Amino acid sequence: MKRNKIILLGAVILLVLLLTAAGARLAGFRYRPDIQGQLVADMMQSNAYKSALVRLTENPALADRIGKPVKTGKILNLEAWENDSSGAIRLAQEVTGSRRSGIFQVDGVMDGGQWQYRECRVIFPDLTEWDLLKQTE
């Protein structure tokens, strides 16, 4: 008799858990194991990120310095948002060329529909910098 009560209690608990999971699914809750990856992918589609990459890849002096082709690598930090005519970006991403590699750093805001960068540079492992805003070392 006691064994039947334990089995019945286990079955009831299992049924409640299954019904709760089904109800949560129907209510719109989804398990997203890689939510951070999805957020980064969404930020990579933003104009903030795309315009920062244009500054990097369309700089012939930097391409001569690190070697062609200039390729981006792992994103170390990315925060980007846009709302009509305002937005902000903070980015740190690995960048490599045929001769050198470094970290591409960007910090900027969009005001009135125009991006204004406070920082846009590549920092090399020997701690020298290439400032893409000044286009000089």
**pLDDT for position 136:** 43
Residue 106's contacts (CB-CB under 8 Å, 6 or more residues apart) are: 52, 55, 89, 90, 91, 117, 119, 120
* Poorest-pLDDT segment among 74-78, 97-101, 110-114, 125-129: 110-114
More confident residue, 90 or 114: 90
**pLDDT for position 63:** 85
**pLDDT for position 94:** 92
**pLDDT for position 39:** 63
Residue 100 has pLDDT above 60, yes or no: yes
Residue 103 has pLDDT above 90, yes or no: yes
